[in-house]
Amino acid sequence: MSKNYLVDSRNKVKRVPERGHYDQATAYAILDDAFICHISFVVDGQPFIIPTLYGREGNKIYVHGATTSRLIKHLEKGFPVSMAVTHLDGIVLARSAFHHSANYRSVVIYGTARPVDDERKEQALYIISENVLQGRWEESRKPYDKELKGTAVLEIEIEQASSKIRTGGPKDDKADYDLDIWAGVVPIKLEAKAPIADALLSEGIPVAKSVTNLYQE
């Protein structure tokens, strides 16, 4: 059974609150349909926001980076972090410019980042890799010890989350429905195209199964 996250002033949806969701199942579904997030944090009063890859396992998010990166060096100290993921599902065109909108699924999570120890680091990197392209990790050369040493992985336990979803068509003012202006929804979808081989690829190597599974769906 899906659990609900605690709702307070930090994560409560204030604008159009009926679109807000606070259950784990909704948050997980939005997270699992993407692999790029934006992480926000503050260093010495200066806010930063960094796009990065991620993976989820249970109620934990994993992100990685160079051990020297500002994101890693700051968050591994245990400072609070906020992370956002958004899917644009459609452009909603109303008769009035004021009522133009978008159909979307978004989630904002709150938590505290902790460094993943060396024993679990490779497994955490596997989780991130599988979230980006399932099956690719097993097709690839595994990281050398030197590469693992230069890479840090952070684990973020999701303490709170709020999801927000909009679906459906435009909502115009009653008087505007008589206007001779087209209104409706333009669906938007992220789609993989046929792969382009590396110019230095040796002859005779077929396209990886993980890739064909992606673009033939």
The predicted-structure confidence for 145-202, as pLDDT tens digits, reads as follows 999 999 999 999 999 999 999 999 999 999 999 999 999 999 999 999 899 999 999 9
**Residue 57 belongs to some domain of the structure:** yes
**Residue 204 belongs to some domain of the structure:** no
What percent of the chain clears pLDDT 70, i.e. is strictly above it? 98
Which of these, 54, 50, 49, lies nearest to 36 by C-alpha position? 54
Range of the domain at 24: 17-173+183-190
Q: Which helix (H) or strand (E) holds 82?
A: strand 80-93
**Residue 134 belongs to some domain of the structure:** yes
Indicate which CATH number applies to the domain containing 43.
2.30.110.10
**Residue 206 belongs to some domain of the structure:** no
**Residue 169 belongs to some domain of the structure:** yes
**Residue 5 belongs to some domain of the structure:** no
**Residue 78 belongs to some domain of the structure:** yes
- Residue labelled with tokens 């989820």: 56
pLDDT at 126: 98
Q: Which helix (H) or strand (E) holds 157?
A: strand 151-166
Model confidence at 106: pLDDT above 70? yes
Helix residue ranges, H only, 76-134? 118-132
Region of 58 on the Ramachandran plot (φ > 0 left; ψ -120 to 50 alpha; else beta):
left
**Residue 207 belongs to some domain of the structure:** no
Total domains present in the chain: 1
pLDDT tier at 1 (50, 70, 90 boundaries)?
A: low
Distance between CA 56 and CA 72 in Å, rounded? 18
